[in-house]
């Protein structure tokens, strides 16, 4: 017997059987994969699904690193590449080879109208276009070159630099292209606000918190390194490049925070030097304490960039161990392409990719003790985090036990990865089951302890729901808080059901929250994937795992919605624009990952023999490439809904395979669904 996470005793439900226990079953499956009669459409679909599953399995196995992990490229937008060049310019560490490689990538992403978008097929985006333009100027491109002339004309039409987001104008202020006085103020004394006080640093989501603490130092120092050229061509009126922004009514929240910002600008001029110096030193200590073993911060590029700038402004030279390892860590975000171009990843996703790949392969019928699954499990077990992080500010007595998204990010494990890693580990027949059980127990206990007061789960913190951070004029770059979401909550509910805690009060509260969050049309909002297809694809498998029958009204509404938004070609797709305009909900070009999500939802609801499932499976089988992969240029992931979109290159492999495997073999790990 083992101790359960609530302190009682009891054994975890059994894991998936080993290959030796499943020989007969696997033999039967091989027999089933023989081609069906060509005149029977359902049999044709089943045969096509089996062939596609076998091909996709082999392809995914071939992508595993010898150490046991999987990692696909994480593609975002050219601001990552532009800001990398701006950082090197600011620090005086330009490298001609890197500059040309980055410029080649940025040029290749420009659209015919001269703009750059933040996702494939999306509209031109002003800030991204400004940053790409400036980066190409730094790389030596002439402003009157046709591609830059088109870009600058479009920028002026959109309001010029003055209409750009705050982060873009901060980068320009570093070189004197914008006035620091015309940027929102962010005082370093923020570090001293107590944890109960509004707008303390722990009111921000972890990604924003790491960035903002560093930027308080930059905002206080207001550095200017001489620019190598002017940017008059990016202003609507070069004689008045910094036009004042209109004030909102004082009775509105926006008006209140605009006036607060004006007061902070006054404070900047009269702040005690002693207090300000102490605050900056405290912020620096906070930053250094959170540097990871690989030199990065939070496993993501933006906080690393701003932390390096902040510490450098405080006198840390580039040979200091903190900055030396920090700069070295940024090289690991670079993806060199065959054409000699260089793309910068915003972060890397090995834990997430590995647990999803493990689930996909197990559900596709790979033996549970297959050596590559065992190797993946070993790698994931080694990645479990055993020390407290920022999450413990709100949960000081909760023992650690989560997983992070990245290679190195011990300070910020996340609830979503932890739930999915548990689901992955329990699909593997590991030679040391006691080790797996202990890791699962720790993870379940941690996830339970991270439940928010409303019964749901956010990604990184509990109860990170303050309404104030999003109101700050400084925070116009996307989501800056981490409230609970349907997709994360669904993954936790599914995990809790898998470990036998279906009737645990925590699980039931999560289910109740999910049912209450369903949209009137039947879908669920997807915070970390695009969008309603992702939310619905996450929730229905969780409800099924927790015993909600396929006949439940909420399930039937969701099935109806998925059937209504299925594309004529049989697949599903949803554009990033659905985050701004609900008319796009469930609408977009068919993609392999989103078709996989929709099929996972329908299969969980008991729709295996339905026409929608048959058409979706056929679409996956027909669009699969000869090597077992799928092509997917579309962005189906999100960092910040609408503001920061992601193309996870492994999504196009793992989710179609998961869906096909469940269609061929039944539910997760062979369990029936839709009872």
> Rounded distance, CA 243 to CA 444, Å?
53
Contact between 176 and 224 (Cβ < 8 Å): yes
Measured CA to CA in angstroms, residue 121 lies from 111, 116, 117, 592 at distances of 9, 10, 8, 17
pLDDT by residue (tens digit) across 391-422?
A: 999 999 999 999 999 999 999 999 999 999 99
**Secondary structure tally for the chain: helices H, strands E:** 23, 5
> Rounded distance, CA 74 to CA 644, Å?
12
Contact between 376 and 69 (Cβ < 8 Å): yes
As given in the structure block, the two tokens for residue 362 are 């197990």
**CATH topology assigned to domain 518-668:** Glycosyltransferase (1.50.10)
Three-state DSSP class for residue 334: strand
pTM for this prediction = 0.92
Question: Which phi and psi angles does 522 have, rounded to 5°?
Answer: 115, -10
As given in the structure block, the two tokens for residue 177 are 């292209």
> Rounded distance, CA 227 to CA 347, Å?
29
CA-based angle 645:646:649, to the nearest 5?
160
Contact between 459 and 207 (Cβ < 8 Å): no
Give 291's strand partners. Answer: 297
The helix (run of H) or strand (run of E) holding residue 647 is strand 644-648
Contact between 229 and 137 (Cβ < 8 Å): yes
CA-based angle 465:468:471, to the nearest 5?
125
What DSSP designation does 247 have? P
**What is residue 423's predicted lDDT score, i.e. its pLDDT?**
98
CA-based angle 426:430:434, to the nearest 5?
85
Question: Which phi and psi angles does 223 have, rounded to 5°?
Answer: -75, 155
Alpha helix ranges (H) inside 486-531: 486-498, 505-517
Q: Tell which phi-psi region holds residue 547, choosing left (phi > 0), alpha (psi between -120 and 50) or beta.
A: left
> Rounded distance, CA 67 to CA 375, Å?
7
> Rounded distance, CA 603 to CA 662, Å?
7
Q: Tell which phi-psi region holds residue 430, choosing left (phi > 0), alpha (psi between -120 and 50) or beta.
A: beta
**E strands, 251-393, in order:** 334-336, 342-344
Query: Residue 499: which of 574, 589, 418, 430 has the closest Cα?
Result: 418
Three-state DSSP class for residue 637: strand
- 174-191 burial, b if ≥16 CB within 10 A, otherwise e? bbebbebeebbbbbbbbb
Angle between helices 301-313 and 321-331 in degrees, nearest 10: 150
As given in the structure block, the two tokens for residue 99 are 């500059």
Contact between 191 and 282 (Cβ < 8 Å): yes
> Rounded distance, CA 331 to CA 381, Å?
27
Compute the 3-state secondary structure of the chain and give helix, strand, coil in percent, each to the nearest 5.
50, 5, 45
Query: Residue 69: which of 404, 295, 344, 338 has the closest Cα?
Result: 404
Dihedral (Cα; 522, 658, 74, 327), 10-degree rounding: 120
The helix (run of H) or strand (run of E) holding residue 314 is none
Contact between 130 and 234 (Cβ < 8 Å): yes
Contact between 613 and 540 (Cβ < 8 Å): no
> Rounded distance, CA 639 to CA 118, Å?
12
As given in the structure block, the two tokens for residue 503 are 């009737």
Contact between 430 and 68 (Cβ < 8 Å): no
**What is residue 261's predicted lDDT score, i.e. its pLDDT?**
84
- Classify domain 77-240+249-344 by CATH architecture: Alpha/alpha barrel (1.50)
- Check for a shared fold between 77-240+249-344 and 518-668: yes
**What is residue 118's predicted lDDT score, i.e. its pLDDT?**
97
Q: Show me where the domains of the chain are located.
A: 77-240+249-344, 518-668
Greatest alpha-carbon span in the chain: 84
Residues 6+ apart with CB under 8 A from 193: 199, 200, 201
Q: Which residues of the chain have pLDDT under 70?
A: 1-41, 669-675
Residues 6+ apart with CB under 8 A from 311: 217, 284, 287, 288, 320, 322, 323, 326
CB atoms within 10 A of CB 137: 22
pLDDT by residue (tens digit) across 253-296?
A: 888 888 888 998 898 999 999 999 999 999 999 999 999 999 99
Contact between 616 and 623 (Cβ < 8 Å): no
Instruction: Reduce the secondary structure of 189-224 to three states and give it as a string.
Output: HHHHCCCCCCCCHHHCCHHHHHHHHHHHHHHHHCCC
**What is residue 7's predicted lDDT score, i.e. its pLDDT?**
35
Considering the candidates 84, 414, 416, 498, report the single residue annotated as catalytic.
416
What DSSP designation does 117 have? B
**What is residue 14's predicted lDDT score, i.e. its pLDDT?**
53
> Rounded distance, CA 381 to CA 4, Å?
19
Question: Which phi and psi angles does 638 have, rounded to 5°?
Answer: -140, 145
**What is residue 252's predicted lDDT score, i.e. its pLDDT?**
85
> Rounded distance, CA 141 to CA 156, Å?
19
**What is residue 26's predicted lDDT score, i.e. its pLDDT?**
35
The pairs formed by 242-246 with CB atoms below 8 angstroms and a separation of 24 or more are 242/162, 242/178, 242/179, 242/182, 243/162
Give 343's strand partners. Answer: 335
Angle between helices 350-363 and 41-62 in degrees, nearest 10: 140
Q: Is 182 annotated as catalytic?
A: no
Contact between 128 and 116 (Cβ < 8 Å): yes
């Amino acid at each position: 017997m083992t101790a359960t996470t609530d302190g009682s005793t009891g054994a975890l439900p059994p894991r998936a059987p080993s290959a030796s226990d499943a020989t007969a079953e696997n033999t039967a499956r091989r027999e089933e994969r023989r081609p069906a009669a060509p005149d029977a459409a359902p049999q044709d679909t089943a045969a096509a699904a089996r062939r596609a599953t076998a091909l996709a399995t082999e392809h995914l196995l071939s992508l595993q690193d010898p150490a046991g992990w999987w990692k696909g490229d994480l593609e975002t937008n050219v601001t990552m590449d532009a800001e990398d060049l701006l950082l090197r310019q600011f620090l005086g560490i330009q490298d001609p080879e890197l500059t040309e490689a980055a410029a080649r990538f940025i040029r290749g992403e420009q659209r015919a109208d001269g703009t750059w978008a933040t996702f494939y097929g999306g509209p031109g985006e002003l800030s991204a276009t400004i940053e790409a333009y400036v980066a190409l100027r730094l790389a030596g491109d002439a402003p009157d070159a046709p591609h830059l002339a088109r870009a600058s004309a479009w920028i002026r039409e959109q309001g010029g630099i003055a209409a750009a987001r705050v982060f873009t104008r901060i980068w320009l202020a570093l070189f004197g292209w914008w006035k620091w006085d015309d940027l929102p103020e962010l005082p370093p004394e923020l570090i001293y606000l107590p944890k109960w006080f509004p707008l303390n640093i722990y009111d921000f989501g972890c990604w924003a918190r790491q960035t903002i603490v560093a930027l308080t130092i930059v905002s206080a120092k207001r550095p200017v390194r001489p620019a190598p050229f002017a940017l008059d061509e990016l202003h609507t009126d070069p004689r008045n490049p910094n036009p004042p922004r209109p004030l909102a009514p004082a009775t509105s929240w926006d008006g209140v925070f605009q006036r607060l910002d004006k007061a902070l600008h006054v404070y900047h001029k009269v702040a005690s030097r002693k207090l300000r110096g102490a605050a900056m030193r405290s912020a620096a200590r906070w930053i250094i304490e959170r540097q990871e073993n690989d030199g990065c911060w939070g496993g993501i590029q933006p906080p690393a960039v701003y932390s390096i700038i902040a510490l450098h402004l405080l006198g840390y030279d580039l040979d200091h161990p903190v900055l030396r390892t920090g700069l070295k860590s940024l090289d690991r975000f670079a993806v060199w392409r065959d054409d000699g171009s260089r793309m910068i990843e915003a972060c890397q996703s090995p834990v997430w990719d590995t647990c999803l790949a493990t689930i996909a392969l197990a559900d596709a019928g790979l033996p549970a003790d297959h050596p590559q699954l065992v190797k993946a499990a070993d790698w994931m077990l080694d990645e479990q985090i055993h020390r407290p992080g920022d999450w413990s500010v709100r949960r000081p007595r909760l023992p650690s036990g989560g997983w992070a998204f990245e290679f190195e990010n011990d300070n910020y494990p996340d609830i979503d990865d932890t739930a999915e890693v548990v689901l992955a580990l329990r699909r593997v027949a590991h030679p040391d089951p006691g080790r797996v059980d202990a890791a699962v127990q720790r993870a379940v206990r941690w996830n339970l302890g991270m439940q928010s007061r409303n019964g749901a789960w956010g990604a990184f913190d509990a109860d990170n729901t303050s309404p104030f951070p999003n109101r700050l004029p400084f925070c116009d770059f996307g989501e800056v808080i981490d409230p609970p979401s349907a997709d994360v909550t669904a993954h936790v509910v599914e995990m809790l059901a898998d470990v036998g805690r279906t009737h645990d009060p925590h699980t039931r509260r999560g289910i109740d929250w999910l049912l209450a969050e369903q949209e009137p049309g039947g879908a669920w909002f997807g915070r970390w994937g695009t969008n309603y297809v992702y939310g619905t694809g996450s929730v229905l498998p969780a409800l099924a795992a927790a015993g909600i029958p396929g006949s439940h009204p909420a399930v039937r509404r969701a099935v109806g919605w998925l059937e209504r938004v299925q594309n004529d070609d049989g697949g599903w797709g949803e554009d990033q624009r659905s985050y701004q305009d609900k008319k796009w909900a469930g609408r977009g070009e068919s993609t392999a990952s989103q078709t996989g999500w929709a099929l996972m939802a329908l299969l969980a609801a008991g729709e295996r023999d339905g026409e929608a499932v048959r058409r979706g499976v056929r679409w996956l089988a027909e669009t699969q490439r000869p090597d077992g992969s799928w092509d997917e240029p579309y962005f189906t992931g999100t960092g910040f809904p609408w503001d920061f979109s992601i193309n996870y290159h492994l999504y196009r492999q793992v989710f179609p395979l998961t869906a096909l495997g469940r269609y061929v073999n039944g539910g997760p790990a062979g369990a029936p669904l839709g009872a």
